[in-house]
Amino acid sequence: MNPLLPLHGANNPSSLAAGTNPGSFASRADVGGPRAYSSPDTPGMPEPSTKTAWDFLPAGWVRRGAFAEAPAGFVPVTQLEHARLGVVTPAMRRVAEREPHLSAEQVRDEVAAGRMIIPANRLHLEKGLDPMCIGRAGRTKVNANMGASPVSSGTDEEVDKLHFAERWGADTVMDLSTGGDLDATRLAIVDAAKVPIGTVPIYSMIIGRKLEELDREVILSTLRHQAEQGVDYFTIHAGVMLRHLPLIKQRLIGIVSRGGSLLAKWMITHGEENPMYTAFEDICAVMREYDVSFSLGDGLRPGGLADASDAAQLGELQVLGELTERAWRMGCQVMVEGPGHVPFDQIEYNMKLERTLCHGAPFYVLGPLVTDIFPGYDHITSCIGATAAAYHGASMLCYVTPKEHLGLPKRDDVKQGCIAYKIAAHAADIALGIPGARDRDDELTRARAALNWERHFELSFDPDTARAYHDEDLDVDTDFCAMCGHDWCSVRISKEIVEFDSGKTADLQKARALKSPALSPEQREILEKRGVLSPEEIHKLASKTRKAVEASDGKASCHSDYVDDGVAERIQAERLVQLRQKNASSAAE
Ligand code: SF4
């Protein structure tokens, strides 16, 4: 049998076309076109939009050849405006250095088409931001969420988590703080970050005031304040509309986005349209001034498999397409947020529908989780969905940690989430045939074939864990490991078969087996913990949370399961205020 390989002309992800693999089964690269790096479309998938950001130029702009002309006296601010005028900015040059398969001109052209963003607040650039890009012509990016909640963590802990997330490969970080000193935490994170920082500004819009009091002035002044602090992108839930709200009644889990649920409550209370939607052009004007990019929020994303791809979710996505066009007309960079919890078979459709409705604006997805019954392991359930999402068109993956649905991630949860998502992003980049994406894998395969443990660890994404696990069973750096043992080590036997070249590369060979050096303190700690919290640590964390919600008898008195709605509302208001005052005073101490 000589099966025909389904090759569609994608690049080989290995620079040397190493090994016996025929390369990627993805589609031919189309940088400069709507598909960039993409999976072949399964029959029935939506076609890419025929429009780009070029079709939504601001009033007074005129297309001239490859670029555009702005009205006389216009001063460009955003990366999109520079790109439209044909300018290659220092940020674009830096992005091209970090994405060696792209030239600075290609980066500019992708930004001009709206298929790529460089989230870089001009003030954060001055503070040391290292510019990166989000778009399907570049490598897949990973975002890590963090932030203090009313019951846990504080500014120092969050800055520590930021550095930890950067260490473990987060390309951007979102500060989702809802407790503690929000302002100080945000500023500390932006000042310390080399990666772009995103926020969901509605959180700080409602701290210290009733949700009902949210109005245009509060929205714009909060956005301006955070833009001045240097935040690089804002999640704005402007796509949730009054007409969508009846559609969520049949859902199993209603609205699971914090921003989406808050705005839905505001709309029902006032009987008016979403204020983020009605003030959208004013919001654009503030964001343009600092080049804060949009992350158009998916307030109606599904919170369970049963609610995926429903009318509410897709109705909102359609509005996000309209808002993308409006933001482009205002000169703003845009990415679009996506689901959530999606059965594996529906992921390709979701990614390709966004490509159509939002004209190729980068898609930034949370997961998606492909099953709901593994709480505690949702970094795994979601990174499976995230790999499919990136292969089918998502440009950035928002990580999920093992604490998802259960509590605020701690330091090690951040690491587990980052690694799960680096795996998803990297696997998709290889599958898509992005040039050079597989080079490190091939190098590690060579080291593994040569049984060169030092090089093997060095090339590992997490060398400490790799060495610790190896040395846990056998701390001798020899021609086999403890998994199969000497006599059954197929790699050692392969090395002995003279016909095979594998594992014999001169620079990977060792003259003789070496004893492994002793484990470093970090590596010893990895073995000691092996991902297990002691019962004492668990009780310490639980009692801290119980104390914060004043639920010493086992239940928080504000829970609406225990009291009627009116009482719950009153107690919640009092309790939240108390918590805020407490956090403010403890931060001042
Ligand atoms: S002993 Fe088994 S697992 Fe270990 S290197 Fe050899 S073949 Fe690989």
Strands 116-117 vs 334-338: parallel, antiparallel or unpaired? unpaired
How many Å lie between the centroid of ligand 1 and the Cα of residue 427?
A: 23
Q: What is the dihedral of CA 361, 365, 370, 371, to 10 degrees?
A: -140
Pocket test for ligand 1, best of 446, 471, 477, 480 (most atoms within 8 A of CB): 480
**All structural domains of the chain:** 53-432 (3.20.20.540), 442-529 (no CATH), 541-588 (no CATH)
Distance from C-alpha of 28 to C-alpha of 11, rounded to nearest angstrom: 7
Let me know: does 237 contact 299? Beta carbons within 8 Å: yes
Distance from C-alpha of 69 to C-alpha of 77, rounded to nearest angstrom: 15
How many Å lie between the centroid of ligand 1 and the Cα of residue 484?
A: 5
How many Å lie between the centroid of ligand 1 and the Cα of residue 573?
A: 60
**What residues are in contact with ligand 1 under a 6 Å CB criterion?**
480-481, 483-484, 489-492
Cα-trace Rg, the chain: 25
Q: Does a cis peptide bond (omega within 30 degrees of 0) precede residue 119?
A: no
Q: Hey, how many other C-beta atoms are within 10 angstroms of the C-beta on 588?
A: 7
Q: What mean pLDDT do residues 417-443 have? A: 98
Q: Which two tokens stand for residue 6?
A: 């389904």
How many Å lie between the centroid of ligand 1 and the Cα of residue 485?
A: 7
CA-nearest residue, atom 5 of ligand 1: 480
Q: Residue 306 — very low, low, confident or very high, per pLDDT cuts 50/70/90?
A: very high
Read out DSSP for 98-118? HSTTS-HHHHHHHHHHTSEE-
Q: Is the pTM of this model over 0.85?
A: yes
Q: Which two tokens stand for residue 5?
A: 């390989």
pLDDT at 568: 63
**Residue carrying the six token digits 């002044």:** 221
Ligand 1 atom closest to residue 448's alpha carbon, by position in its atom list = 5
Q: What is the pLDDT of residues 512-566, one digit of tens each?
A: 667 777 788 888 888 887 655 566 665 666 666 566 555 655 556 555 555 666 7
For residue 253, give the amino acid letter: I
pLDDT at 535: 63
Q: Is 502 helix (H, G, I), strand (E, B) or coil?
A: coil
Distance from C-alpha of 575 to C-alpha of 578, rounded to nearest angstrom: 5
How many Å lie between the centroid of ligand 1 and the Cα of residue 456?
A: 13
Q: What mean pLDDT do residues 480-508 have? A: 83
Distance from C-alpha of 175 to C-alpha of 98, rounded to nearest angstrom: 24
Distance from C-alpha of 10 to C-alpha of 433, rounded to nearest angstrom: 6
CA-nearest residue, atom 4 of ligand 1: 481
CA 124-125-126 angle, to 5 degrees, is 85
How many Å lie between the centroid of ligand 1 and the Cα of residue 513?
A: 15
How many Å lie between the centroid of ligand 1 and the Cα of residue 465?
A: 17
Ligand 1 atom closest to residue 489's alpha carbon, by position in its atom list = 6
CA-nearest residue, atom 6 of ligand 1: 489
* pLDDT above 90 (res 390): yes
**Separation of first and last alpha carbons in the chain:** 76
pLDDT at 408: 80
pLDDT at 555: 59
Q: What is the dihedral of CA 144, 145, 147, 150, to 10 degrees?
A: -150
CA-nearest residue, atom 3 of ligand 1: 483
Q: What is the mean pLDDT of the chain?
A: 90
Q: Which two tokens stand for residue 376?
A: 């505690």
pLDDT at 504: 74
Q: Residue 153 — very low, low, confident or very high, per pLDDT cuts 50/70/90?
A: low
What percentage of the chain has pLDDT greater than the value 70?
88
Residues paired with 31 in a beta bridge: 33
For residue 220, give the amino acid letter: L
Pocket test for ligand 1, best of 445, 474, 483, 516 (most atoms within 8 A of CB): 483
Distance from C-alpha of 182 to C-alpha of 203, rounded to nearest angstrom: 9
Let me know: does 425 contact 390? Beta carbons within 8 Å: yes
Ligand 1 atom closest to residue 486's alpha carbon, by position in its atom list = 1
Q: 27 phi and psi, to 5 degrees?
A: -80, 165
For the chain, the helix, strand and coil percentages under 3-state DSSP, each to the nearest 5? 45, 10, 45
Distance from C-alpha of 225 to C-alpha of 415, rounded to nearest angstrom: 31
How many Å lie between the centroid of ligand 1 and the Cα of residue 481?
A: 5
* pLDDT above 80 (res 487): yes
CA-nearest residue, atom 7 of ligand 1: 489
Q: What is the pLDDT of residues 531-540, one digit of tens each?
A: 555 666 656 6
How many Å lie between the centroid of ligand 1 and the Cα of residue 489?
A: 5
Let me know: does 513 contact 477? Beta carbons within 8 Å: yes
